């Protein structure tokens, strides 16, 4: 299976929750992580942890990983990051569009406009910005897999998280539509992680979030699934 071949995997929202757990798991398996997130402090802490893993398995002092403090909502930042990735020869084999946010529980008409915009700009436009600048690099290489993180709430509905549900339903449609535009050898899939105890789940469920699996328990299953996706999966809606 493809998982035995070292791959370069780009993860947005890499500094916390699912993104962080997935990055550590992939690095542990010997894959190269390219990542970005909004928190400079958390990005630096993760880079230090990944570099420690490198030094434990290699005499090289320079990390094979590339992490940057960036916001997917900025199209110009994604354009510049794509240039850097080309210069560093780290064009991803797989992109995991994981960066996401959720509104505070509230009826739609009570959600402030700024909060609604934050959800839409991060969860939908952020993915579009990444695809705009990185998919052409994959097309040039004639291979690549893009995983757009969806949600059970991208396939069902819930009260008080309407902006989030709307954004994830949009990602399901975006993924299926974009899949029809790809040349052979590439794939775009929508992937629901299942229910995992992250800060976002705590925002919705409160203390009940602890009833669900941790990101660390989730990551090995997710990594196996993501690493073994193929062009035949193009357009699929999958669940870890």
Query: Can you name the residues that pair with 238 across neighbouring β-strands?
Result: 191
In the chain, what is the straight-line distance between the N-terminal and C-terminal CA atoms, in Å?
18
CA angle 19, 90, 25 (to 5 degrees): 30
- Is 212 annotated as catalytic? no
Assess contact for 175 and 235: CB atoms under 8 A: yes
Give the closest residue to 92 by CA, choosing from 148, 139, 45: 139
Instruction: Kindly report the backbone phi and psi dihedral angles of residue 122, in degrees, each rounded to the nearest multiple of 5, phi listed first.
Output: -80, -50
CA angle 103, 107, 112 (to 5 degrees): 55
DSSP-based three-state secondary structure for 102: coil
User: How far apart (Å, rounded) are the C-alpha atoms in residues 141 and 25?
Assistant: 26
| Residue of 164, 179, 227, 229 marked catalytic | 164
DSSP-based three-state secondary structure for 186: strand
Which residues neighbour 6 within 8 Å (Cβ) at sequence distance 6 or greater?
A: 30, 31, 32
Catalytic residues: 164
């Amino acid at each position: 299976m493809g998982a035995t071949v070292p791959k370069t995997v780009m993860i947005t929202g890499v500094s916390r929750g699912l993104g962080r757990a997935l990055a550590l798991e992939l690095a542990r398996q010997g894959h190269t992580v390219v990542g970005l997130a909004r928190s400079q402090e958390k990005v630096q802490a993760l880079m230090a942890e990944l570099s420690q893993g490198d030094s434990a398995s290699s005499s090289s002092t320079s990390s094979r990983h590339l992490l940057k403090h960036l916001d997917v909502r900025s199209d110009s930042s994604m354009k510049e990051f794509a240039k850097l990735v080309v210069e560093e020869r780290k064009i991803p084999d797989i992109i995991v569009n994981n960066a996401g946010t959720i509104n505070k529980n509230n009826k739609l008409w009570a959600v402030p406009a700024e909060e609604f915009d934050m959800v839409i700009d991060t969860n939908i436009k952020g993915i579009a910005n990444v695809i705009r600048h990185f998919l052409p690099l994959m097309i040039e290489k004639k291979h690549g897999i893009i995983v757009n993180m969806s949600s059970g709430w991208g396939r069902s509905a819930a009260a008080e998280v309407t902006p989030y549900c709307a954004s994830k339903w949009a990602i399901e449609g975006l993924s299926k539509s974009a899949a029809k535009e790809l040349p052979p050898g590439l794939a775009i899939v929508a992937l629901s992680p299942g229910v995992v105890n992250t800060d976002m789940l705590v925002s919705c469920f409160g203390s009940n979030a602890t009833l669900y699996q941790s990101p660390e328990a989730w990551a090995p299953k997710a990594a196996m699934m993501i690493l073994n996706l193929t062009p035949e999966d193009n357009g699929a809606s999958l669940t870890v």
